[in-house]
């Protein structure tokens, strides 16, 4: 009974933690044309289109857009667009993307952008630690 209760608590904790990581729940088939259109949207002068493109790239976790997003994060004049790019990079989650967010904490001229990047990076670190803890707990449980 004690084992069953422990297992139930472990599964519940894992489900809550995994749900908090904000990963897409369904796999979406994204065409090359869609990817190209979203990347072109990043180059638009229209701030709404640029911001929306960054958001969708992050939601779809399109790693092909990491370099254009990094360029925006480092060079765009608009703070809101740089924050949208940082959020998209955080959601993509590749080592290069996370490193770009981390570097913006120190090097961005805007305190607002730096604070958002710090928040995204801290959330990434927290999720990484939780994922490692879940893997460790699962391995420990399996060995019993």
Mean pLDDT by 10 residues, the chain (144 residues): 41 46 62 96 96 97 97 97 98 97 97 97 90 65 63
Predicted local confidence at residue 39, as pLDDT: 97
- The domain made up of 27-143 is a member of CATH 1.10.3720.10: no
Which one, of 45, 94, 102, lies nearest residue 66 by Cα? 94
Q: Which H or E element spans position 46?
A: none
Predicted local confidence at residue 98, as pLDDT: 97
Predicted local confidence at residue 107, as pLDDT: 96
Predicted local confidence at residue 128, as pLDDT: 83
Predicted local confidence at residue 131, as pLDDT: 72
CA distance 25 to 11: 18
CA distance 97 to 66: 6
Predicted local confidence at residue 130, as pLDDT: 76
Predicted local confidence at residue 49, as pLDDT: 96
What's the predicted TM-score (pTM) here? Answer: 0.74
Predicted local confidence at residue 4, as pLDDT: 40
Predicted local confidence at residue 138, as pLDDT: 63
Would you call 38 helix, strand, or coil by DSSP? helix
- The tokens describing 141, both together, are 């449980």
């Amino acid at each position: 009974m004690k084992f069953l209760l422990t297992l139930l608590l472990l599964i519940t904790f894992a489900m809550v933690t995994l749900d908090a990581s904000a990963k897409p729940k369904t796999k979406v088939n994204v065409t090359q044309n869609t990817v190209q259109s979203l990347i072109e949207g990043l180059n638009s002068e229209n701030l709404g289109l640029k911001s929306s493109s960054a958001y969708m790239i992050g939601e779809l976790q399109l790693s092909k857009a990491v370099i254009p997003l990094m360029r925006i994060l480092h060079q765009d004049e608009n703070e809101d667009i740089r924050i949208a790019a940082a959020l998209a990079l955080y959601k993509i989650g590749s080592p290069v993307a996370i490193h770009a967010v981390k570097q913006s904490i120190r090097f961005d001229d805007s305190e607002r952008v730096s604070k958002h990047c710090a928040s995204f990076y801290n959330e990434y670190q927290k999720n990484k630690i939780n994922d490692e803890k879940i893997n460790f707990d699962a391995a420990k449980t399996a060995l019993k």
